[in-house]
Structure 1
Amino acid sequence: MAPVLSHWIDAGSNGIIRKTGNTLVHIDSKADFDIPSLFPGHSHFKWPSQNQMDSMNRSRNTFIMSALISGLYNHSIWVWPKWDTKNHIKTHSIVFVYFGRATRDYAKKLPGKTSAICFCISYSKRGVKTCFAQHGNKSPFTEKSIPHTQCHIKRYAKIEKIREDLALQSLQNGKLIQKEENVILDIDEEYIGYELSFAPLLATGLTVANITSINREVQRIICPKVMKDETKADNVLSKIIFEISKRRRHFCMKKKPENCSKFPMSHNFSSVIHMFTKPLSSLSPALSCKKKVATKYLEKFAVKLASLKEKQLLAIREVGFCFTPLPKPLNWEYHFQLCLGGSILNNSIRHLHSLQQQEVFSRIEFFKKFMSEAKFRPRLITLARSLRSGFTPRKYFRKIEREILSSFHVFHSKLHVHYDSSLLGGKFGWPKRH
């Protein structure tokens, strides 16, 4: 997955946007304002090289702060949705942030006399700064505060957080953004609303234990190495599920319903194993886990599927299998498994706002109104689908994306849209892959 930070840096390197002093309008349901760790290869207070970008892209939820530290932005406005009011203390808040390097006197106190960056916050432009130092992989907030005199300031930025309806009012009266500001617009489709992508599985009676077990078996029989091969791998598994579902249905039609449980012991089932043993064993090296897939793994996977109800098989096939990011302390680790978007297997699920069709349409109309009132003309627009790692409603994703893209015509009559090569499902998206 190519994080949005890469596209911003590429645009700056190619002269599409300025390298310093821009304003970011971030329209999203989440802040993405985590402080990046000071690890080897990270760029601080300068334009990053390609090697540094590769290192920075491994961090989680730090892309905005990384951009602020590099100097790309000195003003960031996070517009958040009204449906998330319960998670915000204020409807509009402003904080001033400062980044720099800790003085030598402070660095001498650190183990091995390592360098440290410092991070200060103030709630007014000339207010008292509260400063923290960060060294190694530690969060700055796990350390005691330091005197502001021990922080040599290198970067400064104003960060605003504002609810969407107030942001619209502020746009209309010309207070949110000044004419001289160079605006970059960043939007996450999650902003429209959330859904649990694994809800269709749970609705059929599947449990987290079932899902974990299926993932474990999948990772023994098919192992794509790069994201461009995930659709091929999903197609292989989709065919297996389709055949098992079809033959199970045929078997159950001939037998009494209570005898459906005997399907895994039937000839209909064993023929599925024979059908896929050879194709799986001859998978290209790009997809195979080993030179030869052990028949026992395929059988175990197939038996597990054959024991499920037809509606469960259909739900699994619809959700599909893809590279799913699992959070680690400092970065993301990708596993090929059931394509569940925001992780079901940890406790980080936030407040979710599931949408009905009418609310999707009304929120889209509000967004289009917001764009039409914008007095700025962005030099660059980045749009995140959040299908792979987030909670964008898959059922309405095409509608959401189409309407968001059409709203940009208020800025440019002709849009050049670049689709990232690592997008889940490519240009047309995951729901349209079959």
Structure 2
Amino acid sequence: MFCGDTAEHELLSDIIFHNISKFLIDNRSMCGRIKDNLSPSKVLKDECVLSIHQHITTSLQRLPRSLNAPFVDRVFCGFRYDAFHKSMLYRLLTLLAPLDDNQLQALAEVGICFQVSLHSYDEARVGHFRLCDGYNRPNETVVTFFTPNREDVQTRGKRLQSILGQVSATPDIVTVCRSVRDGYTPRTHFRQIENLILDALKNRYSRSRGEGIQIMYDRDLLGGKDGWWHRHTCSEQV
């Protein structure tokens, strides 16, 4: 259903998925019992399908101009007829409708995103979507699974400052990787972690250079500069 080749497509697709999940929560009486074996002709007349299709259209029109056309027209896979869009939407609804409100809320928060970064060497997976729960799952990773609290993160930030203070060389460029897409960095702490790292770099190298450091953000970052967590705050206010 969703296709894309830009960061805008990724964000828009997730916004649509988020809106669908929220719509199902708010319209249980209409969509809670959607059948999974409707004929193509009945799909096009189904009240839930038509209502969500209209809801998506209206929601996209209310987005900030920076996220609106021409990206909206290209976020859906290139089916020739509108009926195919409704058919794919119906297939998604049959998967989501049986879930309870807590499950739908969790899916809305997790969202969907590209399987890999747009800059990945794995070209076969670029532009394809998945549930954005990362790859660092319990019992499915070679990395020790650990969820820190704010105090743990703060302690490691201080440790980083100490380490940088012992490094005599002054680099010209430092690359910081968020590691949010793959799930290595806990999303609820990513902003705290990133701020601690940037503060440590500023404290160490601004003094040595006698001037501030310049921070540049990749335009294709997951969720943009502000990040993936709480990414729907702005869209829900428009």
Asked if these proteins are the same fold (TM beyond 0.5), I'd say yes
- Confirm or deny: 8 A CA contact 1:240 1:276 kept in the other structure: yes
Structure with the higher strand share, 1 or 2: 1
Q: Distance in 1 between matches of 2:136 and 2:51?
A: 33
Distance 1:279 1:245, change over 3 A: closer
Partner residue, 1:426: 224
Does residue 411 in structure 1 map to residue 205 in structure 2? Answer: yes
Partner residue, 1:263: 32
Q: Map 1:191-210 to 2 at 5 A.
A: none
Does residue 245 in structure 1 map to residue 25 in structure 2? Answer: yes
1:285 is displaced (CA, Å) by: 4.2
- Confirm or deny: 8 A CA contact 2:34 2:97 kept in the other structure: no
Secondary structure of the residue that 1:353 maps to in structure 2? coil
- Confirm or deny: 8 A CA contact 2:25 2:104 kept in the other structure: yes
TM-score, normalised to structure 1's length? Answer: 0.41
Unaligned runs of 5+ in 1: 1-220, 253-261
- Confirm or deny: 8 A CA contact 2:161 2:200 kept in the other structure: yes
Residues 26-49 of structure 1 deviation map (CA, whole Å, 9 limit, x = unaligned)? xxxxxxxxxxxxxxxxxxxxxxxx
1:280 is displaced (CA, Å) by: 6.4
Distance 1:265 1:324, change over 3 A: closer
Does residue 309 in structure 1 map to residue 107 in structure 2? Answer: no
Partner residue, 1:295: 86
Residues 307-341 of structure 1 deviation map (CA, whole Å, 9 limit, x = unaligned)? 00111101111111110129xxx836232121122
Residues 93-128 of structure 1 deviation map (CA, whole Å, 9 limit, x = unaligned)? xxxxxxxxxxxxxxxxxxxxxxxxxxxxxxxxxxxx
Partner residue, 1:384: 177
1:276 is displaced (CA, Å) by: 2.8
Q: Distance in 1 between matches of 2:193 and 2:179?
A: 12
One of 34, 46, 51 as aligned partner of 1:275: 51
Secondary structure of the residue that 1:395 maps to in structure 2? helix
Does residue 372 in structure 1 map to residue 171 in structure 2? Answer: no
Q: Map 1:78-89 to 2 at 5 A.
A: none
Q: Percent identity?
A: 27
Q: Distance in 1 between matches of 2:144 and 2:160?
A: 21
Partner residue, 1:223: 3
Partner residue, 2:66: none
- Confirm or deny: 8 A CA contact 1:324 1:336 kept in the other structure: yes
1:403 is displaced (CA, Å) by: 1.1
Structure with the higher helix share, 1 or 2: 2
1:390 is displaced (CA, Å) by: 4.3
Q: Distance in 2 between matches of 1:240 and 1:271?
A: 14
- Confirm or deny: 8 A CA contact 2:23 2:52 kept in the other structure: no
- Confirm or deny: 8 A CA contact 1:225 1:286 kept in the other structure: no
For CA contacts below 8 A with separation 6 or more, give which structure has more relative contact order. Answer: 2
Q: Distance in 1 between matches of 2:116 and 2:196?
A: 27
- Note the aligned Cα RMSD (angstroms): 3.0
Residues 173-198 of structure 1 deviation map (CA, whole Å, 9 limit, x = unaligned)? xxxxxxxxxxxxxxxxxxxxxxxxxx
1:366 is displaced (CA, Å) by: 1.0
Distance 1:432 1:237, change over 3 A: same
Partner residue, 1:354: 147
Distance 1:418 1:396, change over 3 A: same
1:416 is displaced (CA, Å) by: 0.8
